[in-house]
Structure 1
Amino acid sequence: MLMLIKEILPVISMSLIVSMSSTVIAAVSGITIGVLVGLRDFKMKRLIVRLLETLMSTPPVLMGLLVYLLISRKGVLGSLELLFSPTAMIIAQVLLVFPIITGLTISSVEKQGREIKKNCEVLGASKTKTVLTIISEMKGQLLTIIATGFGRAISEVGAVMMVGGNIKDHTRVMTTYIALETGKGNFEGAIIIGGILLVISLIINTILHKFKGSEINEY
């Protein structure tokens, strides 16, 4: 059991590092773009929304293949030698999570953000202040969106296995560990990691509900 714990600790830490990093990057960029696009009407908006919806349903393995082709030795970014590294896994997960966060943010802002924008304009707030106010007022919805993106990232298997290589003590994460150990018949390790995944999801949802609760109490 002690050996098993020593084996899975690096897997858990790598999974959290990769998933949290990709979620933060996707959230910062996705929420910013989502708010700006959601507040405006322009010719290309419908095309952008449709593209995001398409990317939201893109099979992770396909996204992994695209990243693999980009960073492989013969790829455009091959000289950076990113293949089979945590960085490559983060890139793949960002591309998977970004459309989800951006698309859901646009949808939420179109429903509630525009009314907040009108109120800010009446009060003479600047554009920057308006955007920050919208983000603050929609904190609960945005936290839910971020949690959805994180759930997609930490549960990903195909893309991270393709670009990360599932290398022990280097790029192995919880989902790829479960897939590998189940194939080997090591159900004990797979079940433990599966339980840890559930605990992490529970912790994230608990934190989310606390933030929502504090937001409700403010009113």
Structure 2
Amino acid sequence: MEQEFLKVIDLKEILPVVLMSLYVSLSSTLIASTLGMFIGIPCALLEFKFKKIIIQINHTLMSVPPVLMGLLVYLLLSRKGPLGEFQLLFTPTAMIIAQTLLIFPIVFGLSISIIIKNGKDIRNTCMTLGANNTQTFFIIIKENKIQLLAVITAAFGRAISEVGAVMIVGGNIKGFTRVMTTYIALETGKGDFNEALVIGGILLAISFIINGILHFFQGSEDF
């Protein structure tokens, strides 16, 4: 029993998987959050012709099945695809692209909802006080930082829990593109539930830590 337990917690097997998961998920969350907020906040504040259509399309994209997104990115990066010459398929970069495309609509949509609710009054106050557009933009981010931080946390949770898309475009290659979720799927399929449970526990612990950081920054404020 002791030997089996030691085998389960073999860091040489588990550590690269955990690190790859964090690398891919954090990278995609950073890219999607930056783009989503820097596009979503102005979109919420400004009035233009196709605004409602863009928001409706984004709502549809928020519910795109991960396997479908994985398939689209696969076709995009495959040898015969438009980006095939870059040979990105079955690499961590391909996984980051897939996860970024999956969580961008979430960040974009939630940012718009938050700013439509709270941002316009702040913008009007800033304009009254003579702030320029850049100052107004960052003041709005500062005043809504708790809500926006919650959006980033949700985006990270969506990224790190992803299986289908990263399996398709990453290939679940040991030591290269294997992440925690694909590792769990693989070990469960093999009937090796011990290792799957260990990785699952680590995944749960990471989620707990991320939520703990959110509550730390939240302080005494309520959503």
Selected match of 2:219 from 207, 213, 217: 213
Query: Given the alignment of the two structures, is residue 113 of structure 1 paired with residue 119 of structure 2, yes or no?
Result: yes
Give me the whole-angstrom Cα distance separating, in 2, the residues matched to 1:149 and 1:46: 23
Does 1:85 find its partner at 2:58?
Answer: no
> How far apart are 1:4 and its partner, in Å?
2.7
Cα separation, 1, equivalents of 2:90 and 2:54: 31
SS of equivalent residue, structure 1 residue 172: coil
Correspondences of 1:108-147 after superposition (within 5 Å): 108-147=114-153
Root-mean-square deviation (CA, aligned residues, Å) is 1.2
Matched residue count: 216
Counterparts of 2:119 and 2:199, CA distance in 1: 40
- Displaced runs of 4 or more, over 4 A: none
Q: 1:49 aligns with which of 15, 30, 55?
A: 55
Q: Deviations over 1:181-213 (max 9, x none)?
A: 000011010000101111001100010011111
Unpaired runs of 5+ residues, structure 1, are none
Structure 2 residue 54 is the aligned partner of structure 1 residue 68? no
Unpaired segments ≥5 residues, structure 2? 1-5
Checking the alignment, whether the CA contact within 8 Å between 1:4 and 1:189 is kept in structure 2 is no
TM score, norm. by length of structure 2:
0.95
How high is the TM-score relative to the length of structure 1? 0.97
SS of 2:81's partner is: coil
Does 1:166 pair with 2:172?
Answer: yes
Identity %: 63
CA displacement at 1:43 relative to structure 2: 1.2
| Contact 1:89–1:164 under 8 Å retained in 2 | yes
Given residue 21 of structure 2, which amino acid in structure 1 is its aligned partner? S
| Mapped partners of 1:213, 1:122: distance in 2 | 30
Q: Distance in 1 between matches of 2:57 and 2:46?
A: 17
Task: Specify the code of the residue in structure 2 equivalent to 1:121.
Answer: M
